[in-house]
Homo-oligomer: A and B are copies of this chain.
Amino acid sequence: MEAASVFLQLAAILIGARLGGEVAARLGAPSVIGELAAGIVLGPSVLGWLEINDMIQLLAEIGIIMLLFEVGLETDLGRLARAGRKSVVVAVGGFAIPFVLGYATSRYAFGQEPIVALFIGGTLTATSIGVTVRVLRDVGRQNSAEGQIVLGAAVLDDILGVLLLAFLFHFSSTGELDLGGTAQLLVLIVAFFLLAPVAAKFVAYVMGHYRQLAQLPGLVATMIVSLIFLSAWVAHAVGAPELLGGFTAGIALSRRFVLPLGVALRRDARFSREVEQDMKPIVQLFTPIFFVAVGLSLDLTAVDWLSPFIWTFSIGFAFIAITAKIAAGYLLWREHWLMRTAIGMAMVPRGEVGLIFAELGRAAGLFDDSLYAGIVLVIAYTTLLSPFWIKLFYRLYGERRELVTPAA
């Protein structure tokens, strides 16, 4: 493809994201909805001006990695760790409940084959870490107590999703249960999470000192981006989602990151400020491409709107998809119900993670066209509607004492 046509596509994506985001914000909706809607309008669903291609896909992946980098940068690892037990409860519940309900309903109410039912259940386990984080940021709750629990749970959900995908993929192609391979993958991912931030912190520390010796400008922009790319590549190499590489690089560069075992490296506040300031425009440039690309990849013309199956299937499973995640929030039985609801609602959007599951199911020949369309609709409902409820919820209850947490 010619570079010039990619430039035109990128300009359309960035301008569309801006217009959509601003209109959504004006209307009181979360701006991420505007960006997703811009993708739906520009893409095959409505105007058909743009299609996902390799270039847009790559830049979109850079966008989500950069967003997760920024989320990591703003994350207080101590608070995330303190939220840890609760995050585990929400992640495991938010994984198991939709999986079991999705499997049972597909198998017994819709009479699907066991392997197809397993993939449908798998699709429902997803949590869109990108949409979830963006909505929390749009409503100003990223660093709240529930925000930390949701962030941890979304990260864990992504890992559980990858493990399940690897497991199901092996099962669907060989018919064997590959517990050993899945366990090995889990060990690698855990090792990545333990080692990557330490390694990245070491690199950042060297960079921060070397900075005074650098003769050329642009050290932060080029070297921090390299560190993020390397971390994403290592994440991919061990079998983890690439965006978690961005997250761990961000964690490592966070001002609040301290090495374990009390080995605190001297913090260089000026370097941290430079990183934040120089990375901001880069993150802002790439991130909207991701959300527009999610909209572009939702092809709503593939849906046969007149078939009764589509309606029963998509509404039935959307009901399961939503209630199962909210139920996961309610597993935190010691929390106030507002807190439990807020956490559960934030986990609802399936977004790009659900689309990856659905796409793999289709590629494996398990989902036919109508099944795929139904699943895409479920993903669209959860992704497009839950930001509205979340915003509405915080407008109604956001000032309640049970939700207002002390500043970090």
Contact = CB atoms under 8 A, between A and B. Distances in A.
A214 B22 CA distance: 7
Contact of A14 (B216, B226, B278, B282): B226
B215 A25 contact: yes
Given A25-B216, A285-B282, A58 B229 contact: no
Contacts of A146: none
Contacts of A225: 10, 14, 285
A15 B237 CA distance: 20
A122 interface: no
Given A11-B230, A31-B216, A215-B25, A242 B3 contact: yes
Contact of A217 (B1, B11, B284): B284
Nearest to A21: B216
Majority secondary structure of chain A interface residues (helix, strand, loop or mixed): helix
A222 B288 contact: yes
Contacts of A280: 221, 278
B55 A58 contact: yes
A17 B222 contact: yes
A42 B153 CA distance: 41
A11 B229 contact: yes
B10 A215 contact: no
Contact of A54 (B55, B216, B221): B55
A220 B14 CA distance: 11
A150 to B, nearest CB: 22
Given A214-B22, A222-B284, A7 B232 contact: yes
A184 B55 CA distance: 33
Contacts of A25: 215-216
A57 interface: yes
A215 B288 contact: no
A271 to B, nearest CB: 15
A390 B58 CA distance: 39
B282 A15 contact: no
A229 B26 CA distance: 27
Interface in A1-39: 1-8, 10-11, 14-15, 17-18, 21-22, 25-26, 31
A191 interface: no
A281 interface: yes
Contact of A223 (B1, B15, B31): B15
Interface in A59-79: 61-62
Nearest to A16: B226
A218 interface: yes
A230 B6 CA distance: 10
A22 B215 CA distance: 6
A281 B278 contact: yes
Contacts of A26: 215
A102 to B, nearest CB: 28
Given A223-B15, A229-B8, A281 B282 contact: yes
Contact of A18 (B223, B229, B288): B223
Contacts of A223: 14-15, 18
Contact of A11 (B1, B18, B233): B233
A219 interface: yes
Interface in A232-288: 232-233, 236-237, 242, 278-282, 284-285, 287-288
Given A4-B232, A18-B226, 19 more contacts: A3-B58, A4-B233, A4-B237, A7-B62, A8-B229, A10-B225, A11-B226, A14-B223, A14-B226, A15-B226, A17-B222, A18-B223, A22-B214, A25-B215, A31-B215, A55-B55, A217-B284, A225-B285, A282-B285
13 contacts: A3-B57, A4-B242, A7-B230, A8-B229, A10-B225, A11-B233, A15-B226, A18-B222, A22-B216, A54-B54, A222-B288, A278-B280, A282-B282
